[in-house]
Every structure is written in structure tokens, then in C-alpha cells.
A and B are shown apart, each in its own frame.
Chain A
Amino acid sequence: MSSSFSTTDLNVRNQRNERLFKLLFGLITATLILPVVIIIGTLIVKSEGTLTWAFFTEDPTNGMTEGGIFPALVGTLWLVAVALIASVPLGVAAAIYLSEYAKDNWLTRLINLAIINLAGVPSIVHALFGVGAFVLFFNFGTSILAASLTMAVMTLPVVIVSTRESLQAVPQSFREACWSMGATRWQTIWRIVLPNSISGILTGVILEVSRTVGETAPIMFTGAAFFLPFLPSSVFDQTMAMSLHLYVISTQVPHVPEGLPYGVALTLILIVMVLNSVSIAFRTYLRGKKKW
């Protein structure tokens, strides 16, 4: 006689299924990670020797087949910085309005729908909008300003959505506590909601930056130049940019040494990875300090 705790056929079958699904999902996950590993591995191997100090600090020379990426690096910093200056205040303000002031009516729902749809617009369409609006209509010409504003419009929905989520993560009971003591909306936002959501908002902003760094389409027609070995002196100048530079030396310029595009690509990925790590570290740090 078997005891009441011994294995039945059904147990055996369930355990077999258990192992099977664990293996299956594990394998699928592994295949997903694989491309990332291969990409980064290839970049490291193929860019061998290109990432020197001079690579980051010198101008490209000899038809962009030699020298460094200094103007593109600086140009990307300009583009990202100006885009941030434009999109963060607007996006955060809009998110505060939507989360803290707007009543839940058809207009608010329409605005939310518009934001979601805006996030789905392909970047090349944003590029064309940027040409029409900023380059031509506002007459900024092809310039850092036009390119950055185009990127700002493109990333606005992301900033709005991530900021709104951070604001919503602050428990409603805190707001009620404030209101019930006679705090206005703004006093509540300023003294309680913002201090407790700023970490999430900043994390969102950093992620936005990392996305902006790699964008090519929206700056291609609006302000990024193929080859311009000078640093911009104002936002009305054109500039080189990392993403476009990579595109140009990989497809448009003959006789580029093989290591060069890989070096540029690796640099781009490194910038993004550093930013993402900062963002994750930040979030982890602040989660540890969470006060409720």
C-alpha cells in the first residue's frame, strides 16, 4: 500500500509539464538576449583600436575616413540639451495639469487620446512636420533650434506620460489630507506631490535623453549636417550629430576604414547605456528611500 503522501501518475505528469514550460520560457528568454550580446560583442571586436582619446577629441579628416568624432559628439550634446530645455518644462506642466487639475470629462479624454496618438507618430513624419513648422514657418532655418524642437515635439508625449505616471504614483490619500486642511491644488502639488514624484519624473527624463541621442530621422532635414568640422556657436547654426554621422560614414562615404563606423556605433551605445544605468541606479536609490 502506498502512503497518502506518495506520488501519483497525475503528479508525475504535472511535474513533467512544469519542467517543460520552465525550459521553454528560459530558452525563449535566452534567444531574446542573444541579439543584444551579439551586437555589442561585434561592435567591440570590430571597432578594435578605434576608441582612442584622439577619436573623441579630434575633427574628422580626409573625407571623414580618418580622424575623430569631436564635432558630432558636441553637436549631439547641443541637440539633446536644447530638446530637453524645450520638452521637459512643457511636458511636466502638461502632465501636472492632466494629473492634478483636469476633471475627468470628454475634453481630458480627448487630450489623452491625442497624446497617445502623438506617441505613435513615426519619427519621419515628425521630421517633415519639423521642416514645415520650425525650418520654414518659424524661419529658424536648418539649425540646432529647429532640429531640437522637432525632437522635443517627438518626445513630449513620452515625457507627459511618464511624468503623469510618477504623479499618479503619489497616493491619493496624501492629496486628500492636504485638501482637507485647506491646501489649494498648487500648495498640495508643490509641498507634497512634486517632492514625492520628482525621482520618477527625473528617471523618465533620463530615459527620454537616451532615446533622443540615437534619433536620426527628425534631425536629418532640420539641423544636422553631413560634414561640418566646426563647433556650433549658437542654436541657429547647423551641427554634426553622432547618429547622422554614423549613417553617413556607413552608407554615403567611400573608403571608410571598417573599424570607424563600429567605433561610432559603440560610442552611441555606450552613451545610451551610461544614461540608462544612471536612470536605473537613480530609481533604485530612490526606491530605497521611499517614504510610504
Chain B
Amino acid sequence: MASKQPRRLAIESKGLSLWYGDFQALFDVDLKIREGKITSLIGPSGCGKSTFLRSINRINERHSYVRTEGTVEVFGEDVMGEDVELVQVRRQVGMVFQRPNALPISIADNVMFGYELHTAAKPSRFERDNLIEESLKRVLLWDQVKDRLGDVATSLSLEEQQKLCIARLLPLKPSVLLMDEPCSALDPKATAAVEDLIWELRGEYSILIVTHNMAQARRASDECIFMLMGKVIEHTKTEDMFLTPENQATADYIEGRYG
């Protein structure tokens, strides 16, 4: 989607509030996530980062006790609108989870899984091989796995699995990638590798990434959002947030004075 006009909004939430039963997890969240940028979302545990992410691809909905108010738009279209096909939302909004969750099928099938869900005709051998190679190259995994594409993906290292989890989104040509602490299960070296990869994808994809790692947020994002207890406290350019935070709570958090 690199050819799109810049300066459009990849994600825009307006007055988004969310309740788990009686517990309100999000309060009137207004956020604008810019196209082609990496935006990091930081804040202490339990402040609603995952909840916000999960409202964008509506994966929260499987709990019958979840209730939302307000709207979320992805490239100007309301994801909760009346005639919205949920499956199409999820096709266009890819998600990477905290724990790598490569599926217990072959590496090749993992890459093709999403694509095949959304394609009526079986791809030709040639198309299939191409897609797999392209996607795995894009996440810098091709060289390690090209000789064992038939192996079960869960036998890969966590780093490789997490890269695969990103690779399998690419054939769907998602417009937005949501990443919920994608490196928190990885060791420092793997973290650096996956971070590099995310930085690689910048520009081509609009990425919203939750992280607990201040250094990561600082290094690897264009904009930064700080949340606290279900509310957005501050949203600025990353360098500004880390140099001159406007809010005292933000300053406390990024200096490690919070849990």
C-alpha cells in the first residue's frame, strides 16, 4: 500500500470506550495513527494497550461481556459499521501476538494459511512457491528455512516463529499491522532481529506496536502514545516524548518510576 497518498490516517479512534462487564478498560480514547509510520503504544501493565489493539481487529468481541462505544476507523472506514464483514476487517488488519503463535502445520502452510482463507481458487504451484518465498524473504527468514519448508513451524526457534507470524500476514496485503509486545517472549538478540525487521517494514505498512521496552519504543518508532488507566495521556513524536514529555506521568513512566 506504499502507493497510497501519504498523510492519511491508518487508524482513527473517536471516543472509544470499552467495558469488560462492569469494568471499564478504555475511556474515551481518541487516537490518530498515521499511515506508513511506526507508532508505539506504551504504558504500565493493565492500562488497556492490548484492549485498544484488540478493538481494532475486533478480536475482543468473542467475549460476550465486552461492550464498546465510539468508533474505530481503518483508512476512513468504520470497522464496526452495520454492513462490515468481520472477516474482511481481519484480513486487512494483521495482528502479531505477544507469544509467537505459529500454527502447528508446516512452515509453508503457515505462510499460506491466511491467504488461502481469503482466496476462493487454489493458487497454482508457481504462485504458491512465489508467495512463500517472497513473504519469507521479506521477514529475513528465507535462508534459514528454505530447505525445510515442510517442517512443522512450531519446531522453529521463538525468533523464527515470530518472524513467521509476521510473514504469514504479508500475502494478505494488510493495510495495518498491530503488534502486541511482539518481542517480549524473545531474548535480547532475537529482539534486536525482530525489531530490525519491523523497522524494515516501515513505510510499506502502518504499524502500531505495543511495547514495554522504552529503549525499543525510542529506537524503533516515529510516534509514541502513552496510556494510563485506560486513557491516552500523551501522543507525540517519539523524540519529543523522550526528550521533553509534556505530562508529569509520562515523564515518570519513561524514567522507570512506574510499575
Q: Which of A105, A176, A182 has the most CB of B within 10 A?
A: A182
Query: Counting CB contacts under 8 A, is A180 at the interface?
Result: yes
Q: In the assembled complex, which residues on chain A have CB atoms less than 8 Å from the CB atom of B97?
A: 173, 176-177, 180
Q: Are B64 and A181 in contact (CB under 8 A)?
A: no
Per-position 1/0 for B66-87, Cβ under 8 A of A? 0000000000000000000011
Q: Are B154 and A291 in contact (CB under 8 A)?
A: yes
A103 within 8 A of B: yes
Query: Could you mark each residue 168-208 of chain A with 1 if its beta carbon is under 8 Å from any beta carbon of chain B, else 0?
Result: 00010110111111111001000110001000000000000
Contact with B along A46-68 (1 / 0, CB 8 A): 00000000000000000000000
- A18 CB–B CB distance under 8 Å: no
Are A180 and B103 neighbours in the complex by a CB distance under 8 Å? no
The minimal Cβ–Cβ distance linking A236 to chain B, given in whole angstroms, is: 45
Instruction: For the complex, give the distance between the alpha carbons of A14 and B90 in Å.
Output: 61
A25 CB-CB contact with B under 8 Å = no
If A173-B99, A181-B114 touch, does A292 touch B62 (CB 8 Å cutoff)?
A: no
Note all chain B residues with C-beta closer than 8 A to A179. 59, 62, 90
* Contact partners of A191 in chain B: CB under 8 A: 105, 113
A103 surroundings in chain B (CB, below 8 A) = 64
Does A9 belong to the interface (CB within 8 Å)? no
Bound Cα distance A125, B232 (Å): 62
A103 to B89, CA, bound (A): 22
Indicate whether B169 reaches chain A with its CB closer than 8 angstroms: yes
Beta-carbon contacts of B164-182 to A below 8 Å, as 1s and 0s? 0100110010000000000
Q: Does B91 contact A (CB under 8 A)?
A: yes
CB-CB < 8 A to A178: which residues of B? 103, 113
Q: Which residues from A are CB-within-8-Å of B117?
A: 181-183, 187
Contacts of B57 in A (CB 8 A): 180
> How far apart are the CA atoms of A181 and B113 in the complex, in Å?
8
Q: Which of the listed residues A103, A179, A180, A291 has the most CB atoms from chain B within 10 Å of its own CB?
A: A180
- Establish whether residues B104 and A181, one from each chain, have CB atoms under 8 Å apart when the complex forms: no
Q: Least Cβ distance of B15 to chain A in Å? A: 25
Known: A176-B59, A180-B95, A292-B154. A192 touches B64 (CB 8 A): no
Tell me whether B101 is interfacial, beta carbon within 8 Å. Answer: yes
With A105-B64, A187-B117, A291-B154 already in contact, the answer to whether A181 and B101 are too (CB < 8 A) is no
B118 and chain A: residue at smallest CB distance: A182
| Given the contacts A104-B64, A291-B154, A181 and B90 also touching, CB distance less than 8 Å | yes
A179–B63 CA distance with the chains assembled, in angstroms: 13
B216 contacts A by Cβ under 8 Å: no
Considering the complex, give the chain B residue whose CB is closest to the CB of A292. B154
Asked if B94 lies at the interface with its beta carbon under 8 angstroms from chain A, I say yes
Q: How far is the CB of A286 from chain B (nearest CB, A)?
A: 13
**Chain A nearest CB: distance from B242 CB in Å?**
31
B102's nearest neighbour on chain A, judged by CB, is A177
Q: Which residue of B lies closest to A170 (CB)?
A: B104
B88 part of interface (Cβ distance < 8 Å):
yes
Interface string of B42-71 (1 = CB under 8 A from A): 000000000000000101001010000000
B158 interface residue (CB < 8 Å to A): no
> With contacts A173-B99, A174-B104, A196-B104 known, is A181 near B62, CB below 8 A?
no
Contacts of A181 in B (CB 8 A): 90-91, 94, 113-114, 117, 168-169, 172
In angstroms, Cα B165 to Cα A176, docked, is 12
Which residues of chain A come closer than 8 Å to B113, judged between CB atoms? 178, 181, 183, 191
8 Å CB contacts to B: which residues of A245-292? 291-292
Contacts of B88 in A (CB 8 A): 182
Whether B193 is near chain A, meaning CB under 8 Å from some CB there, is: no
Contact A182 B91 (CB under 8 A): yes
A103 closest partner in B (C-beta) = B64
B101 touches A174 (CB 8 A): yes
Chain B residues closer than 8 Å to A187, beta-carbon distance: 117
The answer to whether A192 touches B90 (Cβ under 8 A) is no
Give A24 to B91 CA distance when docked, in angstroms: 61
* Residues of chain A within 8 A of B94, CB atoms compared: 180-181
Given contacts A181-B90, A181-B117, A182-B114, contact A291 B59 (CB under 8 A): no
In the complex the two chains form, what is the Cα distance from A105 to B64 in whole Å?
A: 8
B192-236 Cβ-contact flags toward A at 8 Å (1 or 0): 000000000000000000000000000000000000000000000
Excluding A177-B103, A180-B95, A291-B154, 11 further A-B contacts by CB distance (< 8 Å) are A171-B101, A174-B103, A177-B97, A177-B101, A177-B165, A181-B114, A182-B86, A182-B90, A184-B87, A191-B113, A291-B104
**Chain A residues close to B by CB (< 8 Å):** 103-105, 171, 173-174, 176-184, 187, 191-192, 196, 291-292
Q: Nearest 6 pairs between A and B by C-beta? A: A181-B114, A182-B90, A291-B104, A173-B101, A180-B95, A182-B87
